[in-house]
Amino acid sequence: MQNFENFLLDNLPVSKSIHPTYEKALGQMLRAGGKRFRPALLLGVVKSYNKLMVESAMHAAYAMELLHTYSLIHDDLPAMDDSPLRRGKPTLHVMFDEVTAILAGDALNTYSFEVLSKAPFSDYTKVQLIQELAVNGGLNGMVLGQAIDCYFENKPLSIEDVKVLHTNKTAKLIAASLKMGAIIVGREKLGEVLYDFGIKLGLLFQIQDDILDVTQSSEEAGKTTNNDEDKNSFVTLLGLKEAMNQANILADELLKELDSFDENLKNELSPLLRKYIKRHK
C-alpha cells in the first residue's frame, strides 16, 4: 500500500487559513497512519480487474479514508468516546482543542465528496461512488451506528441489536469500499456480492476489535484500549471465549466465500484478508 500512502501525502487537504492550527489539524489525523484497510479493499478489487485504473481509483480510496478519518475524529471527541489517543498519536481535541476537532471532522466529511466530484471518472461513475459513500457513511449507515453505540453505552443490547450497531458503525463502510472498487471497474453485479461479503467482513473486523480491546495494551493498539467496558460489544455480551469462537465461525465462512471468487480477485484479496481473518487462530 506504499502507493496509496504517497498519494494521500501528496493530496492532503490544504486550506490557506490565517490561523495555522486549522490547516495543521486537517492533515494531522490523515498523516498519522492507520491500517488503510478500506483503501486497500477498494484498490484490491480494482487491481484484480483493471490494473490501468488503479491510479484513478486512488482518488476514491482517498475519499473513503477521508470519511473514515472524520468519523474517528468525531468519535474521539469528549462528548463521544473521549479518547486521548488514536493511531498512536494524541487525538485532535487533545493536541489542539474541541473546536478544531469538530471543524476538521466536518471539513474532511465534506471534502470526501469534493474529492469524488473531481476524480478522473465518468460522471456516471462519480455519481454512483458519491451515492455509495453517502448512503453507507451517513444517517442510515456509519452515523446511525455511532448513534446506537452512544445512546446504549450504559444499556445492554440484545446480540441482534449489537449486530445492527456494528453493521452500521463499521461494516457498511467496509462493504462500500469493496463495492466502490467494483463500481470503478464497471462490475455492478460483483459489487452486490462484494457488498454482502463486506458486511460479514466488517462484522468480523469489529468482533476482533472488541477482542483486541480487552487483550491488547494501548501501546500495542496505538489507541486507548480497555476503555469500552460500558460499551455493547461482542465481548461484553458473549464473553471473550464465545466472541473468539464466533469470530472463527465467521472467518471460516468468509474464507469459503473468498474461495468462490474469480481467481484474480481471490489472489488479490487473499493476502490482505487472511491477515485479518486468521489473526486469532
Residue 26 or 40 with smaller CB distance to its own copies: 26
Q: How far is the CB of 118 from its own copies (least distance, A)?
A: 7
Nearer to its own copies, 139 or 249 (CB): 139
Rule CB under 8 A: choose which of 147, 193, 237, 255 binds its own copies. Answer: 147
CB neighbours of 104 closer than 8 A, spacing ≥ 6?
22, 25, 26, 28, 29, 70, 73, 92
Residue 248 interacting with its own copies (CB under 8 A): no
- Yes or no: say if 39 and 115 are a contact pair by the CB < 8 Å rule: no
Of 134, 133, 162, give the one whose Cα is nearest residue 149.
162
- Return the number of the residue (71 or 206) whose C-beta is nearest its own copies: 71
Q: Which residues contact 142 (CB under 8 A, 6 or more apart)?
A: 67, 71, 136, 168, 169, 170, 172, 173
Residues 6+ apart with CB under 8 A from 125: 183, 184, 186
Cell numbers describing residue 68:
473514515
Grid cell 476514491 — which residue? 60
Binding mask 201-240 for its own copies (x = CB under 8 A): ----------------------------------------
Among 8, 46, 107, 180, binds its own copies (CB under 8 A): 107
Q: Is 195 in the site for its own copies (CB under 8 A)?
A: no
Measured from the Cβ of residue 6, the count of other Cβ atoms closer than 10 Å reads 11
Structure letter (DSSP) for residue 171: I
Whether residue 157 contacts residue 165, with contact meaning beta carbons closer than 8 Å, is answered with yes
Q: Which is nearer to its own copies, 49 or 70 (CB)?
A: 70
**Side chain identity, residue 229:** E
259 sits near its own copies (criterion: CB under 8 A): no
Q: Is 22 one of the binding residues for its own copies (CB under 8 A)?
A: yes
- Report, in this order, helix, strand and coil percent for the chain, each rounded to 5: 75, 0, 25
Q: How many residues bind its own copies, per CB under 8 A?
A: 59
Q: How far is the CB of 116 from its own copies (least distance, A)?
A: 8
Least distance CB 187 / its own copies (angstroms): 19
The DSSP string of 112-129 is HHHHHHTSSS-HHHHHHH
- Residue 139: CB minimum distance to its own copies, A: 4
- β-partners of residue 85 are 90
Does 150 participate in binding its own copies (rule CB under 8 A)?
Answer: yes
Q: Which is closer to its own copies, CB of 78 or CB of 239?
A: 78
What distance in Å separates the CA atoms of residue 191 and residue 91, rounded to the nearest whole number? 34
In the complex, least distance from residue 226 CB atom to its own copies, rounded to whole angstroms: 22
Residue 51 CB, shortest distance to its own copies, in Å, is 26
**Which residue number, 5 or 124, has a Cβ lying nearer to its own copies?**
124
3-class state of residue 179 by DSSP: helix
Q: Site residues (CB under 8 A) for its own copies? A: 13, 15-19, 21-22, 26, 67, 70-71, 74, 77, 79-80, 97-100, 102-103, 105-111, 113-114, 116-118, 122-124, 126-127, 130-131, 133-135, 137-140, 143-144, 146-148, 150-152, 157, 161, 164
